[in-house]
Amino acid sequence: MAHRALYQALCKVGDKVVYPVLPAFAKPAWNHPAGPKTVFFWAPTIKWALVGAGLADLARPAEKLSVYQNSALFATGAIWTRYCLVITPVNYYLSSVNFFVMCTGLIQLLRIAHYRYENPDWEAKENAAH
């Protein structure tokens, strides 16, 4: 119960600080059921780190990328993108981050497939390295 009181106190402080300076068009977003006062906002905000990591992997050589990891990113991104559009409240923000997680996984899978297509002996090179 203490966490609920702390949350409510933080929301009241946030309302007093942020609400008066918000432009009129942003006020509904501040009070939205999936807005910044809820986990529905902060969970996808933190999840953008997965997109950042996927983009950072663009600098890695394709032969060093994991098919399993990127398949998981692609699949979970695709599944959760759809799910975010059917839950109540509909969470477009979470849907967008999951869409980009799916896209980064797909791009990396395409890079891996292209590398393996261009280098038919990739498996022998990988086994020799181990």
8 Å CB contact between 74 and 105? yes
The residues spanned by each domain of the chain are: 1-31, 32-129
With b for 16 or more beta-carbon neighbours within 10 A and e for fewer, the 10-33 pattern comes to eeeeeeeeeeeeeeeeeeeeeebe
Residue 2 corresponds to which tokens in the numbers above? Answer: 């203490």
Per-residue pLDDT tens over the stretch 22-72: 888 888 888 888 788 887 788 889 999 999 999 999 999 999 999 999 999
Per-residue pLDDT tens over the stretch 69-120: 999 999 999 999 999 999 888 888 889 999 999 999 999 999 999 999 999 8
pLDDT at 130: 63
pLDDT at 73: 95
Mean pLDDT, the chain, whole residue set: 88
pLDDT band, residue 21 (cuts 50/70/90)? confident
